[in-house]
Amino acid sequence: MNVDNAGGRRYPDRVRCAASPGALPPRRLIHRKREAITVPAIDELATPPADKPAARKRKPAAPSRAPRELSQEEIYERIYTAILEHRLHPGTKLAEERLAEIFNASRGRIREVLARLAHEQVVELVPQKGAYVARPSIEQALDVFEARRLIEPAVMRRLVETLSAEKLERLREHEALEAEARQREDKRAVIRLSGEFHSLAADLAGNSALARTMRELSVLTCLMIFLYDAPTATCCRADEHSQIVEAIAKRDAGRAERLMLEHLDHIQSSMKLESETGQVDLEEIFRT
């Protein structure tokens, strides 16, 4: 405490004037006060009303989790489905680095997936250039249809022979999914489901080699449709799968085979698969 010599009054040390002995200069005093201040967060600066308790401090947000790395099979299915739905067009470049970023996977894993798709002829690997979605030629398209005409009647026979209630239910469920996709005019889903119907039939037939081959032929057919079909066409006509399922349900193998061959004829006839050879008749082209 300090004593005022004139009046004998006492006052605290903290209010003594700067001229008192031992007092710090004002600038130094202010400097010390600034050193003691810790800047609070913005939401802590507001003083709460007297009748309300102070708000609790927010807990720090939990750090966001890194996206899960997809497995090789998951990446394969994502790319395969995108091709089947025509979201990836024939000739599209599939850059390893970009796919690795998208799927949060190593480039080695992406390379393995692309090699698998290339083995199935869905992707083409070009030396020094990279991977591209396949562009089946007209000759390849004709080969695909020839193979399907040999394989799918056999699939029908075997499926009828081994038909069970569970297998028929799966065919019915797929048939319903196709109908729903057509009703809501979801063209991508229609294209994918149309191709998957043939793969499903081969899978239910119980022969893994047939199923694997049919899966490859189905996706190649969808690529061919994109390249050579009319813009408004889909993989398959609306009612033909339903007719095939009915023949299978009645265990009529002969009718199922016949309907399948007619179905393949309809798909091929909707495509422009004539080889453009020979001289072009310019006079015919420009004739008015």
pLDDT tens by residue, the chain, 288 residues: 544 554 555 544 544 444 444 444 554 444 444 444 333 332 332 334 444 445 555 555 554 555 677 899 999 999 999 999 999 999 999 999 999 999 999 999 999 999 999 999 999 999 999 999 999 999 999 999 999 999 999 999 999 999 999 999 999 999 999 999 999 999 889 989 999 999 999 999 999 999 999 999 999 999 999 999 855 555 567 789 999 999 999 999 999 999 999 999 999 998 988 765 556 566 665 665
In the chain, where does the domain assigned CATH 1.20.120.530 lie?
138-269
pLDDT of residue 279: 61
pLDDT of residue 272: 87
pTM to 2 decimal places: 0.68
pLDDT of residue 133: 96
Instruction: Please classify residue 244 by burial: count the beta carbons closer than 10 Å to its beta carbon, then call 0-12 exposed, 13-18 middle and 19+ buried.
Output: buried
Q: Which CATH architecture has domain 138-269?
A: Up-down Bundle (1.20)
Q: Which CATH number fits domain 72-133: 1.10.10.10, 1.10.1740.110, 3.30.56.10, 3.40.50.2300?
A: 1.10.10.10
Question: Are 125 and 96 contacting, i.e. CB atoms less than 8 angstroms apart?
Answer: no
In the chain, where does the domain assigned CATH 1.10.10.10 lie?
72-133
Distance (Å, whole) CA 174 – CA 157: 20
pLDDT of residue 21: 46
Distance (Å, whole) CA 227 – CA 136: 8
pLDDT of residue 208: 92
